[in-house]
């Protein structure tokens, strides 16, 4: 049961997610969260870091898609420079938006990695959709009270993750979802 909340990979930032790493594990497409994953909550536009990284991913042949719980206005404005397929008000951790993104990319769930900063929306939803999940350390620490509360539980899970890593987390993952 706990495995469904565990990311398959935990990184400090998207910069650590490289084409080489993804290709080795058979990933062909990425589903991206916006807030605190690509930019801080209060930043409206995609910055050069994001543009360079997404350009590199596209050039390496990956399909990209935004799946955000944010409002239409926020997502459309952020996506102006990126021009990706994007789902707003995705209701993560519901599976629906993830599966829709998979269909648009023309990929199977196992070929897709979900990249996000929250265990209870991005990781939980992505795991339930049968996708590879990558947890990114949140960019901005200036978060609302509800997210702060969730962080307390996330910390507990991450502590267990690091304790379990030597025991083989991926085994636990496939046991729980298989
Ligand atoms: Mg987020």
Residue 114 sits in a domain of what CATH number?
3.40.50.1000
Distance 97 CA to ligand 1 centre (A): 15
Is residue 60 in some structural domain?
A: yes
**Residue 30, in any domain of the structure:** yes
- As to burial, measured by CB atoms within 10 angstroms (0-12 exposed, 13-18 middle, 19+ buried), residue 113 is buried
Assess if residue 19 is contained within a domain. Answer: yes
By residue range, what is the domain housing residue 130? 7-143
Asked if residue 155 belongs to a domain, the reply is: no
Which residues lie at CB < 5 A from ion ligand 1?
A: 33, 35-37, 117
What tokens appear for 55 in the block? 């350009």
Distances (CA, A) of 126 to 8, 28, 76, 143: 10, 15, 22, 22
* Gap from CA of 30 to ligand 1 centroid (Å): 15
Of 16-25, 31-40, 160-169, the range with the lowest mean pLDDT is 160-169
* 109: in domain: yes
pTM of the full predicted structure? 0.83
For residue 41, how far is its CA from the centre of ligand 1 (angstroms)? Answer: 8
Quote the number of domains for the chain. 1
Give a yes or no: residue 151 inside a domain.
no
Asked if residue 37 is part of any domain, the answer here is: yes
Percentage of the chain lying above the pLDDT 90 cut: 75
């Amino acid at each position: 049961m706990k495995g469904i909340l565990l990311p398959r990979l935990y990184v400090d930032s998207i910069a650590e997610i490289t084409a080489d790493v993804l290709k080795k594990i058979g990933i062909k497409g990425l589903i991206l969260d916006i807030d605190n994953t690509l930019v801080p909550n209060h930043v409206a536009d995609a910055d050069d870091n994001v543009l360079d990284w997404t350009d590199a991913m596209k050039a390496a042949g990956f399909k990209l898609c935004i799946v955000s719980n944010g409002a239409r206005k926020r997502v459309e404005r952020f996506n102006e420079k990126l021009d990706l397929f994007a789902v707003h008000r995705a209701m993560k951790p519901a599976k629906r938006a993830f599966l829709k993104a998979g269909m648009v990319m023309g990929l199977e769930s196992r070929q897709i990695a979900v990249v996000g900063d929250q265990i209870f929306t991005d990781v939980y939803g992505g795991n339930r959709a049968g996708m590879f999940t990558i947890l990114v350390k949140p960019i901005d620490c200036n978060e609302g009270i509800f997210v702060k509360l969730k962080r307390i539980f996330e910390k507990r899970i991450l502590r267990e993750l690091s304790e379990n890593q030597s025991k083989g987390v991926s085994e636990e993952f496939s046991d729980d979802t298989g």
